[in-house]
């Protein structure tokens, strides 16, 4: 099924350069080599962030409404080194401005469905929480970015995340703070250099603020009571 998806891509009418590049990316996302599928994830993100990113997103979702190629990449690489790059790719796809516009109704609807699938699939939601609790700032940032992207898709999805997310997780003060943590493991399992927990602060704040940006009064009142999150946001302001 995934192979057929890639073959169908080769027949799409939009820019040939994008078409060839995307087929190559989708193929590499399914390899077992960490560097290859990590590079493919980064390349896809660069494509989506480029000038033609909106067109690429629309064409991709129209051809693959449930993002089957990306979901398969998630399945293949879950609990493996480099999973953070897969989460970052999903965050970019789900957070892309063109994927939230009402005039692109079908694209928006399909991406909302993918976001909801991630929340309702115990394995996938568990994968995101595992990355968040990993102690590796790159993995934690990818999880925070994905969660923020889902929240920003609208009040319904924001409420679903609020119901599932444990706002009293022990890791939250570290994610919000500026404490330095030594001896963390790198993506390849090697001992890394000093890792600054504070490097997660920007993404932590983005996640916390995403609930406020949705503009749901009932949700807003509830999330503002989550002191572990918003005290962390306020900490350090004005220094």
How does pLDDT run across 109-122, given as a tens digit for each residue? Answer: 999 999 999 999 99
- The top-scoring range by mean pLDDT among 97-101, 108-112, 192-196, 213-217 is 108-112
Q: What are phi and psi of 191, to 5 degrees?
A: -70, 125
Q: Would residue 40 count as lying in a domain?
A: yes
Q: Which residue has the higher pLDDT, 52 or 14?
A: 52
Q: How far apart are CA 170 and CA 68, in angstroms?
A: 34
Closest CA to 30 of 93, 80, 100: 80
Q: How far apart are CA 101 and CA 153, in angstroms?
A: 10
Q: How far apart are CA 40 and CA 79, in angstroms?
A: 18
Judge whether residue 190 has pLDDT over 50: no
Q: Would residue 151 count as lying in a domain?
A: yes
Whether the CB-CB separation of 156 and 195 falls below 8 Å is answered with: no
Q: Which residue has the higher pLDDT, 51 or 178?
A: 51
Q: Which of 8-17, 186-195, 212-221 has the lowest mean pLDDT?
A: 186-195
Whether the CB-CB separation of 233 and 205 falls below 8 Å is answered with: yes
For 120-143, the pLDDT digits (tens) are: 999 999 999 999 999 999 999 999
The residue-averaged pLDDT of 96-109 equals 90
Q: Which residue has the higher pLDDT, 228 or 194?
A: 228
The residue-averaged pLDDT of 214-239 equals 80
Q: How far apart are CA 52 and CA 55, in angstroms?
A: 5
Judge whether residue 221 has pLDDT over 80: yes
For 41-91, the pLDDT digits (tens) are: 999 999 999 999 999 999 999 999 999 999 999 999 999 999 999 999 999
Q: Would residue 89 count as lying in a domain?
A: yes
Q: Would residue 210 count as lying in a domain?
A: no
Q: What are phi and psi of 181, to 5 degrees?
A: -120, 125
Judge whether residue 3 has pLDDT over 70: no
Distances (CA, A) of 175 to 12, 103, 134, 167, 203: 43, 37, 11, 12, 9
Helix residue spans in 29-136 (DSSP H): 34-49, 53-63, 68-77, 83-95, 105-120, 122-132
Q: Would residue 227 count as lying in a domain?
A: no
How many domains does the structure of the chain reveal? 1
Q: How far apart are CA 145 and CA 206, in angstroms?
A: 8
Q: Would residue 147 count as lying in a domain?
A: yes
Q: Which domain holds residue 74?
A: 2-167
Closest CA to 83 of 122, 117, 148, 129: 129
pTM: 0.85
Q: Would residue 79 count as lying in a domain?
A: yes
In this structure, how many other beta carbons lie within 10 angstroms of the beta carbon of residue 105? 9
Q: Would residue 200 count as lying in a domain?
A: no
- Residue 4: predicted pLDDT: 42
Q: Look at the block and give the residue holding tokens 């706002």.
A: 167
- Give the tokens for residue 223: 């999330």
Q: Mention every residue, 6+ apart, whose C-beta is less than 8 A from residue 196.
A: 137, 178, 180, 181
């Amino acid at each position: 099924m995934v192979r057929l998806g890639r073959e169908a891509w080769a027949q799409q009418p939009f820019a040939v350069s994008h078409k060839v590049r995307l087929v190559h990316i989708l193929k590499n996302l399914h390899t077992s080599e960490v560097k290859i599928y990590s590079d493919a994830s980064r390349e896809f993100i660069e494509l989506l962030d480029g000038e033609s990113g909106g067109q690429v997103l629309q064409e991709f979702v129209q051809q693959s409404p449930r993002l089957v190629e990306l979901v398969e990449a998630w399945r293949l690489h879950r609990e493996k080194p480099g999973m953070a790059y897969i989460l970052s790719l999903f965050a970019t796809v789900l957070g892309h401005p063109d994927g939230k516009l009402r005039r692109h109704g079908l694209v928006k609807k399909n991406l909302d469905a993918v976001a909801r699938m991630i929340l309702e699939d115990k394995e996938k939601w568990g994968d995101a929480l595992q990355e968040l609790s990993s102690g590796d700032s790159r993995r934690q940032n990818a999880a925070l970015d994905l969660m923020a992207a889902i929240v920003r898709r609208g009040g319904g999805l924001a409420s679903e995340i609020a119901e599932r997310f444990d706002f009293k997780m022990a890791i939250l003060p570290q994610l919000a703070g500026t404490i330095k943590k030594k001896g963390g493991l790198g993506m390849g399992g090697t001992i890394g250099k000093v890792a600054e927990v504070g490097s997660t602060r920007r993404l932590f704040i983005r996640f916390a603020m995403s609930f406020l940006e949705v503009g749901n009064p009932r949700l807003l009142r509830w999330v503002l009571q989550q002191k572990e999150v918003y005290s962390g946001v306020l900490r350090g302001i004005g220094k």
